[in-house]
Amino acid sequence: MEKENRLTLGWWIIGIGGVIFLLVPLFVRNPYLLHIFILIFYFAYLGTAWGLISMAGQLSLGHAALIGIGGYTSTLMFMEWGVTPWAGMFVGAAICGIVGVIIGYPAFRLKGPYFALTSIAFAEILRIYVENTEEGPFGIPLKAAMGLLIPLKGQAPEVFQFQEKEPYYYIAFAMMCIAILINYTITRRKFGFYLMAIRSDQDAGESLGINSTRYKLMAMALSCVLTAIGGTFYAQYFRYINPERAMGLGMSIEIALVGVVGGWQTVLGPTIGSILLSPSGELVRAYFGGTYAGLHLFLYGLLLMVVILFLPNGLNDPIRRALKRLEARIRRPAVLTAQPNAPTKDSG
């Protein structure tokens, strides 16, 4: 597809970066460093999944609820019935897909900020419910604010548990790559074009044959399914899931933030955002989290405001521009520096 900014340099960087990421665990043994990488991949994954609904022009500030549903579903199925989280993951994903469609449908038919409101309301109410409920319907032990502790089984790959960080590293990396691939494929196909049209000008899109509600629902379903799977990963990696952390507004905003900082309606934006934010956020939380509870969320909120006010398209634009300049300089230094009558330099 012709696009005037096809970044071959960008592809190289992505490729090299991918290879580097694959090799890191071979050289890096420090579990804490690996943990940081896992966070980067994990939030890149969540941000990219969230980005699917952003591509339809809808802002969700309640995606944490999906993490909660996904994580709680697979964990409860494991705790109560011994179902491996690998399978429970899909059940949670299916539930979230359906929930997302039901929640989104009323708002998607309308124009206005209704979906954003719905997402916040849904997430908050669900969180409050879980936080205050020891036993849910059918006697499901939700354990209220205490949350769920994953029963430790040591090294048990069949139930999605590992002693070392490496397997989690690769799983998170694979998830991130898959999510990016999904987003990328979508943008090249009719689905992606339609989502772009809907968020750009829904009326124009409808006059060109787009059933905007239907496509928003499709994007929502996919976004929810992927996010729910992220919830299972959360439960299995942190081995603990509770309403306040996993389902709170802070988490929803963290997910939105990586997308916004990196470029919230682009394929790689959330990944870029996560590379930037996850390490710093984790460091702030580690060093200050005890004495200054809330500092890292404060900084996130501030960062969100700053980005919206000054860099609304996130870092994606500046990075693209810098890459273009870099690419031009690498490929044709003669063109850049040549004067009409001056001798041209040999390209390096």
Beta bridge partners of 311: none
Ranges of H-type helices in 132-263: 166-188, 190-200, 202-207, 212-238, 243-246, 249-262
- Minimum CB distance to another protein, residue 211 (Å): 5
Shortest CA distance to 67 belongs to which of 235, 261, 297?
235
Q: Which two tokens stand for residue 244?
A: 């306040």
User: Cβ closer to another protein: 236 or 316?
Assistant: 316
Distance separating alpha carbons of residues 230 and 41, to the nearest angstrom: 11
Q: Which of 68, 272, 300, 315 binds another protein (CB under 8 A)?
A: 300
User: Cβ closer to another protein: 102 or 174?
Assistant: 102
Distance separating alpha carbons of residues 258 and 269, to the nearest angstrom: 8
Residues 6+ apart with CB under 8 A from 131: 144, 145, 243, 244
Q: Which of 211, 337, 344, 347 binds another protein (CB under 8 A)?
A: 211
Q: Which of 44, 268, 297, 315 binds another protein (CB under 8 A)?
A: 297
User: Which one of 14-22, 41-49, 83-91, 288-296 is the stretch in contact with another protein (CB under 8 A)?
Assistant: 288-296
250 contacts another protein (rule: CB under 8 A): yes
Beta bridge partners of 135: 141
User: Cβ closer to another protein: 84 or 133?
Assistant: 133
Q: Which two tokens stand for residue 92?
A: 């949670």
Q: Which of 87, 284, 295, 323 binds another protein (CB under 8 A)?
A: 295
Q: Tell me which residue has tokens 């992927």.
A: 226
Q: Which of 197, 219, 224, 235 binds another protein (CB under 8 A)?
A: 197
Q: Which two tokens stand for residue 321?
A: 């521009």
Residues of this chain, 111-170, that bind another protein according to CB under 8 A = 111-114, 116-118, 120-122, 124-125, 128-129, 131-133
Binding mask 77-106 for another protein (x = CB under 8 A): -------------------------xx-xx
The greatest distance separating any two alpha carbons of the chain, rounded to the nearest whole angstrom, comes to 85
57 contacts another protein (rule: CB under 8 A): yes
User: Which one of 152-160, 164-172, 210-218, 231-239 is the stretch in contact with another protein (CB under 8 A)?
Assistant: 210-218
- Minimum CB distance to another protein, residue 250 (Å): 7
- Minimum CB distance to another protein, residue 52 (Å): 15
Pairing state between β 240-241 and 148-149:
antiparallel
Q: Which two tokens stand for residue 73?
A: 């579903």
User: Cβ closer to another protein: 6 or 29?
Assistant: 6
- Minimum CB distance to another protein, residue 33 (Å): 27
200 contacts another protein (rule: CB under 8 A): yes
Beta bridge partners of 148: 241
101 burial level (CB within 10 Å; 0-12, 13-18, 19+): middle
Residues 6+ apart with CB under 8 A from 15: none
| Residue 170: count of CB within 10 angstroms of its CB | 15
315 contacts another protein (rule: CB under 8 A): no
3 contacts another protein (rule: CB under 8 A): yes
User: Cβ closer to another protein: 18 or 312?
Assistant: 312
Residues of this chain, 212-231, that bind another protein according to CB under 8 A = 212
* Burial annotation 291-314 (CB, 10 A radius, 16+ → b, else e): eeeeebbebbeebbeebeeeeebb
26 contacts another protein (rule: CB under 8 A): no
59 contacts another protein (rule: CB under 8 A): yes
Q: Which two tokens stand for residue 127?
A: 């969180």
Residues near another protein (CB under 8 A) are 1-4, 57, 59, 61, 102-103, 105-107, 109-114, 116-118, 120-122, 124-125, 128-129, 131-133, 188-190, 193-194, 196-197, 200-201, 203-212, 249-250, 253, 256, 260, 292-295, 297-298, 300-305, 308-309, 312
